Structure 1
Amino acid sequence: MRRACAPRCLPHRQAAHAGPRVGRDPAGESGRGRGRGRRRQVIPTSFDYVRAKNLKDALKAMGKSTKVIAGGHSLLPLLRFRLAQPETLVDIGQLRELKGIKRAGGGVKIGAATTYRELLESRELGTLYPLIAEVTEHIGDLQVRNAGTIGGGLAHADPAADMPPVMLVLDATFLLQSKGGKRSVAARKFFKGPFTTAMKPNELLTEIQLPAPAKGAGTGGAGGAYASFEQAASGYALVGAAALITVAKGMITRADLAFTGLADTPFLAPAAAKLVGTQGQAELIAEVAAASVAGVEANDDIHASAAYRTHLGMVAARRALAQALARAG
Structure 2
Amino acid sequence: MLRGWVGSSLQAHSFEYVRPATVAQTVQILGEKGGRAKVLAGGQSLIPVLKLRLANPQVLVDISRLPGLAFIQERGGRLRIGALSRHRDFEESKLVRDKYPILADVAASLGDPQVRNLGTIGGALAHADPASDWGTALLVFETELIAKGPKGTRTIPIDGFFKDPFTTALRPSELLTEILLPKSEPGNGGAYLKLKRKTGDFATVGVAVQIGLDPKRNVTRIRLALAAAGPTPMRAVKAEQALVGKRAGPTAFAEAARIAAEEGKPEADLRGSTEYKRAMIEVFTRRALETAAGRTGR
TM-score range, shorter chain: over 0.9
Q: Secondary structure at the match of 1:316?
A: helix
**Candidates 184, 189, 212, aligned match of 1:223:** 189
Structure 2 spans left out of the alignment, 5+ residues: none
User: What residue is the counterpart of 1:32 in the other structure?
Assistant: none
Deviation of the 1:75 alpha carbon: 0.4
Give me the TM-score of the superposition, normalised by structure 2. 0.93
Matches within 5 A, 1:100-111: 100-111=71-82
Using the TM superposition, give the Cα deviation of residue 293 of structure 1 relative to its aligned residue in structure 2, in angstroms: 2.2
1:300-311 to 2 correspondences below 5 Å: 300-311=268-279
Query: Is contact 2:221-2:244 (8 Å) kept?
Result: yes
Q: Decide whether the 8 Å contact of 2:105 with 2:193 is kept in 1.
A: no
1:60 correspondence with 2:35? no
Deviations 1:141-189 (A, max 9, x none): 1111111101001110111121111101122110011122111111111
Does 227-236 or 202-211 show the bigger shift? 227-236
- Residues 82-91 or 192-201, more deviating: 192-201
Instruction: Measure, in 1, the Cα distance between the counterparts of 2:179 and 2:158.
Output: 9
Say if 2:17 is the partner of 1:49: yes
Q: Which has the higher contact order (CA 8 A, sep 6+)?
A: 2
Greater CA radius of gyration, 1 or 2?
A: 1
Amino acid at match of 2:72: I
What corresponds to 1:232 in structure 2?
Answer: 198
The one of 119, 127, 130 equivalent to 2:98 is 127
Gaps of 5+ in 1: 9-39, 216-220
| Contact 1:172 1:187 (8 Å CA) reproduced | yes
TM-score by length of 1: 0.85
Aligned amino acid, residue 5 of structure 2: C
Q: Which stretch has the larger CA shift, 88-97 or 223-232?
A: 223-232
Q: Which of 112, 122, 130 is the matching residue for 2:83?
A: 112
CA offset at residue 125 of structure 1?
A: 2.5
Matched, 1:245 2:211: yes
Indicate how the Cα distance of structure 1 residues 233 and 322 shifts in structure 2: closer, same or farther if over 3 A, else same: closer
**Relative to structure 1, is the Cα distance of residues 295 and 213 closer, same or farther in structure 2, using a 3 angstrom cutoff?**
closer
Provide the aligned length of Structure 1 versus Structure 2: 292
SS of match in other structure, 1:86: coil
1:290 matched to 2:264: no
Query: Following TM superposition, by how much is the alpha carbon of 1:83 offset from its aligned partner in structure 2, in angstroms?
Result: 0.4
| Equivalent residue number for residue 98 of structure 1 | 69
Q: How far apart, CA to CA, are the structure 1 residues paired with 2:160 and 2:227?
A: 15
What secondary structure does 1:284 align onto? helix
Which stretch has the larger CA shift, 148-157 or 285-294? 285-294
CA–CA distance in structure 1, aligned partners of residues 168 and 145 of structure 2: 11
Question: What is the Cα-based RMSD across aligned positions, in Å?
Answer: 1.6
Give CA-to-partner distance per residue, 1:213-265, whole Å, 9 cap, x none: 133xxxxx111112211022642210010111111121111111100012221
Q: 1:259 corresponds to which residue? A: 226
Query: Kindly tell me: are residues 134 and 233 of structure 1, through their superposed partners in 2, closer, same or farther at Cα, counting changes over 3 Å?
Result: closer
Partner Cα distance (1:57, 1:242) in 2: 36
